């Protein structure tokens, strides 16, 4: 007997134009049924069996994303991830609605520091109608400026439903930085708390827009920020600004009808989110992502990790929401896969992360390499109960293997994965193996390029930078030097701009940095020169972007100045 099934999602075709959509075959032999077949048909069965077996062997030459072959099979510089899972043609709100219908009483969000807990049914409310009521409309840009608070996630989904583009503004931005960001994308509205720690958001906005003192809410007319007309404060009443609780109650039946009509017009290709790049090589750029980018990225991300079938997934999320790792990997995972997301603290707190894992029985932990190093240094690490923790994902920058080994040893979490991606790719493209339904060029020690649903629409209103990063046929140039081995694993060598050429030899800093990390007394290492350097400097810290990434170009400048080179 011959039966035919579709190829499972975990198979990746070996090369371009391979039999990506051809089903594979399975066989079952029924003795009695075979005996009923006339003997003259015997040769036909043998021929069919042989032909199909040969065909199946051709199909099985593909690379399996979860269980690589025992010998290398990938020999070309091009790989195309295929899948039996179709791309989703849904908007963000449609994804959230489905999770609300499936899991109305399941916890969706837990904000431990603010003691806020919301089920899916409690979280889903029409704040979007209030945004329309205060004068915002489809296509407007709303800047969310603040730390990891409940209102951040509320705005993430309210703007998506109303067709408003969310602008993720770094909560650490100072006056000049926030002015640059708001002007760059022509922000029409800003939502923020009054202050957080030493960051006085309200005071900074009044310095930028002194017109707020005399303006009515929604009627700001600023000379420095000409597109800004609305400020919404989450926790207090301020001159010239709306209080968020008033906005949430402002929607009338007219606005609800307007919102309902809008759902028929929204497209999954519409822009939904502008996130600023980290600025490691210059001024931040506004990467513009669509519903299609984000929804499908988090969909395949969840399939790769198993969020679609694992029970009671509870994610400890200490990474910031303004970063795509936090907003897409956190809030959107909640919406698409129905997972529970636990926020340990408003700002980063290494000890709070451990408490969250233990008290909230988290099964998965997110973090950057720096966060993991900090977690490992917590004095009460050995006393924490990690029995619920199954695994985690590390992303944001290159992570030395030694750090992962230490985390597994300390927590017992066996499923520690390293994610690779960029803000411009919405964000994850590799998690061990390449994600499904994406294409990438992968010659050894060359720049990594990606093509597919993940590639951003553009850098907002910046044609020059967009054309530098995206080719005419929509390949995105990452600026990262990488290689893909015969098993399909990706290895990041470093940034093209960090590559050192000396005496005709290419030197990849990441290789040396990972080796230095194995020394027990070295917490972090950054390489700017040769493997056997002429100069070595010991420092208390590195020049960082506001998101915590090391600015190597500034490190080089500082070292040259220090050594008089």
Q: Is the pLDDT of residue 439 over 60?
A: yes
Q: Looking at per-residue confidence, does 147 or 7 come out higher?
A: 147
User: For residue 510, what pLDDT is reported?
Assistant: 65
Classify strands 78-80 and 500-502 as parallel, antiparallel or unpaired. unpaired
Q: Stretch 265-276: mean pLDDT, rounded?
A: 97
Q: Is the pLDDT of residue 153 over 90?
A: yes
The number of C-alpha atoms within 13 Å of 1 and in the hemisphere containing its C-beta is: 9
Whole-number Cα distances in Å, 534 to 446, 497, 510, 522: 27, 21, 18, 19
Which neighbouring-strand residues pair with 500?
A: 507
% of the chain residues with pLDDT over 70 = 76
Range of 155-169, 432-446, 516-530 with top mean pLDDT: 155-169
User: For residue 158, what pLDDT is reported?
Assistant: 98
pLDDT for 359-368, tens place per residue? 999 999 999 9
How far is it, in rounded angstroms, from Cα 360 to Cα 270?
A: 36
How far is it, in rounded angstroms, from Cα 423 to Cα 278?
A: 9
- Enter the tokens of residue 497: 């701009």
Between the two ends of the chain, the Cα-to-Cα distance in Å is: 77
Model confidence at 46, pLDDT cuts 50, 70, 90, reads low
How far is it, in rounded angstroms, from Cα 558 to Cα 460?
A: 32
Dihedral (C-alpha) 7, 8, 12, 15: value to the nearest 10 degrees?
0
DSSP string, 397-465: S---HHHHHHHHHHH---EEEEEEE-GGGSSEEEESEEPTTEEEE--TTEEEEEEETTS-SEETT-HHH
The number of C-alpha atoms within 13 Å of 124 and in the hemisphere containing its C-beta is: 23
How far is it, in rounded angstroms, from Cα 23 to Cα 1?
A: 16
- Enter the tokens of residue 352: 């709070």
Q: Looking at per-residue confidence, does 496 or 207 come out higher?
A: 207
User: For residue 80, what pLDDT is reported?
Assistant: 54
Nearest-Å Rg of the Cα atoms of the chain is 26
Which of 155-169, 282-296, 436-450, 462-476 is predicted least confidently? 436-450
User: For residue 535, what pLDDT is reported?
Assistant: 77
Q: Is the pTM of this model over 0.75?
A: yes
Model confidence at 9, pLDDT cuts 50, 70, 90, reads very low
pLDDT for 545-555, tens place per residue? 655 567 777 77
Give the mean pLDDT of the chain. 83
Q: Is the pLDDT of residue 27 over 60?
A: no
Closest by alpha carbon to 147, among 427, 550, 549, 546? 546
User: For residue 540, what pLDDT is reported?
Assistant: 78
| Residue 106: partners with Cβ closer than 8 Å, 6 or more residues away | 119, 120, 338, 340
How far is it, in rounded angstroms, from Cα 378 to Cα 367?
A: 15
Model confidence at 146, pLDDT cuts 50, 70, 90, reads very high
* 191 close to 234: Cβ distance less than 8 angstroms: yes
Model confidence at 482, pLDDT cuts 50, 70, 90, reads confident
User: For residue 47, what pLDDT is reported?
Assistant: 55
- Residue 259 is given by DSSP the state H
H or E stretch covering 169: strand 165-169
Model confidence at 23, pLDDT cuts 50, 70, 90, reads very low
Q: Looking at per-residue confidence, does 274 or 281 come out higher?
A: 274
Whole-number Cα distances in Å, 421 to 322, 393, 478: 16, 12, 9
Query: How many angstroms from the chain centroid is the CA of residue 272?
Result: 14
């Amino acid at each position: 007997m011959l039966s035919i099934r579709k190829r499972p999602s975990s198979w990746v075709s070996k090369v371009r134009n391979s039999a990506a959509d051809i089903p594979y075959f399975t066989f079952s032999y029924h003795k009695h049924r075979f005996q009923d077949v006339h003997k003259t048909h015997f040769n036909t069965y043998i021929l069919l069996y042989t032909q199909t077996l040969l065909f199946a062997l051709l199909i099985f030459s593909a690379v399996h994303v979860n269980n690589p072959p025992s010998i290398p099979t990938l020999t070309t510089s091009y790989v195309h991830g295929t899948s039996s899972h179709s791309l989703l043609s849904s908007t963000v709100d449609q994804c959230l609605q489905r999770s609300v219908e499936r899991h109305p009483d399941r916890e969706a969000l837990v904000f431990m520091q603010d003691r806020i807990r919301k089920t899916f049914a409690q979280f889903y409310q029409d704040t979007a109608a209030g945004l329309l009521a205060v004068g915002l409309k489809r296509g407007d840009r709303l800047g969310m400026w603040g730390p990891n608070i409940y209102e951040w996630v509320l705005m993430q989904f309210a703007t998506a439903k109303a067709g408003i583009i969310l602008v993720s503004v770094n909560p650490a931005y100072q006056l000049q930085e926030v002015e640059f960001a708001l002007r760059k994308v022509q922000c029409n509205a800003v939502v923020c708390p009054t202050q957080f720690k030493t960051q006085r958001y309200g005071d900074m906005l009044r310095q930028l827009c002194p017109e707020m003192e005399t303006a009515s809410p929604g009627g700001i007319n600023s000379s420095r920020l000409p597109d800004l007309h609305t400020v919404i404060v989450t926790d207090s009443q301020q001159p010239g600004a709306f209080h968020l609780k008033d906005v949430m109650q402002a929607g009338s039946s007219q606005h609800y009808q307007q919102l309902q009509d809008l759902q028929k017009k929204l497209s999954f290709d519409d822009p939904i989110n502008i996130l600023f790049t980290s600025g490691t090589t210059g001024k931040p750029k506004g990467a513009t992502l669509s519903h299609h980018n984000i929804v499908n990225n988090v969909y395949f991300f969840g399939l790769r990790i198993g969020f679609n079938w694992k029970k009671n997934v509870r994610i400890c999320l200490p990474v910031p929401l303004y970063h795509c790792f936090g907003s897409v990997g956190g809030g959107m995972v909640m919406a698409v896969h129905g997972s529970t997301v636990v926020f340990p603290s408003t700002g980063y707190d290494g000890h709070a992360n451990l408490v969250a894992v233990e008290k909230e029985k988290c099964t998965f932990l997110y973090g950057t390499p720096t966060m993991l190093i900090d977690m490992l240094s917590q004095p009460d690490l050995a006393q924490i109960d990690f029995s619920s923790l199954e695994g985690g994902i590390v992303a944001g920058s290159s992570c030395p293997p030694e750090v992962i080994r230490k985390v597994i040893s300390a927590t017992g979490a066996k499923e520690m994965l390293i994610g690779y991606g960029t803000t411009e790719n919405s964000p994850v493209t590799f998690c061990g193996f390449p994600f499904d339904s994406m294409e990438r060029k992968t010659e050894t020690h060359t720049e990594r390029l990606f093509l597919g649903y993940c590639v951003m629409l553009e850098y907002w209103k910046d044609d020059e930078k967009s054309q530098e990063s995206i080719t005419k046929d929509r390949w995105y140039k990452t600026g990262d030097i990488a290689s893909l081995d015969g098993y399909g694993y990706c290895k990041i060598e470093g940034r093209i701009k960090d590559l050192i050429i000396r005496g005709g030899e290419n030197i990849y800093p990441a290789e040396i940095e990972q080796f230095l990390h194995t020394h027990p007394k070295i917490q972090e290492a950054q390489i700017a020169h040769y493997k056997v350097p002429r100069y070595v400097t010991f420092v208390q810290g590195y020049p960082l972007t506001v998101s915590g990434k090391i600015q190597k170009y500034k490190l080089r400048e500082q070292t040259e100045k220090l050594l008089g080179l």
